[in-house]
Amino acid sequence: MLKTVGVLLIGILIGAIAGGGYFYDKFDDAREASAAAKSEVASASNALRERDEQLRKAIADLAASENTLKEAVKARQSADASAKSEAESAGKAVRERDEQLRTAKADLAASENAVKEAVTARQSAEASAKNEAESASKALRERDEQLRKAKADLAASENTLVEAVKARESVEASLKQSLAAKDTAEGMAKQAQEEKATAERALAEARKSEVAPQFRTGR
């Protein structure tokens, strides 16, 4: 940009010089227009100074614009970097979200399978429990029947036991009577033995009494 401005200045100077030479070469032919040319030169000089001032302002504005442009470029680069970073973060977040979604879908499918298996297991458990309940009910009925039979057998056993007790009591009573009769018989036998012994003693004494007189007579 500065080169372009320099080229313009040089061109303007060359043009001014060329114009002066032209006026110098044509001085004799254009003496009448000298004042006008001088006026034009003054005007041109003023215009050149104004143009230089404008050029300096343009250069300053250009420098300010370049600084603004640099700042804008830096801001854009920073914005692009920030946007790129945000885009990468967003892409990463999207990928993580997709991964989480896939994981959630897999977990959901696993949960559905687990629920199905749980329902199947519950149905199987209910069927098994129903069968077990029926078996238990059947076993309970059989147990009740066995209990009734056992009660009947127990009642029969109790009756048999009562009859056995009565028979035992009768046998014991008979045994007691037999023992009493035995005791009585033994007492009678003992008494008979005693009477026999008494009779034998009396007989022996009687024999002794009979023998003693005969002995005395013989002497």
Q: pLDDT value at position 10?
A: 61
Which pLDDT value is given to residue 79?
80
Question: What pTM was estimated for this model as a whole?
Answer: 0.29
Cα gap 44→34, rounded to integer Å = 14
- The CA-based diameter of the chain, rounded to the nearest angstrom, is 254
Residue range 158-173: average pLDDT? 81
Provide the pLDDT confidence category of residue 1 given band limits of 50, 70 and 90.
Answer: low
Q: Among 18-22, 107-111, 133-137, 143-147, name the one with the lowest average pLDDT.
A: 18-22
Cα of first residue to Cα of last residue in the chain, in angstroms, is 213
- Predicted confidence (pLDDT) per residue in 183-194, tens digit: 787 778 788 788
Please give the residue that has the higher pLDDT: either 25 or 156.
156
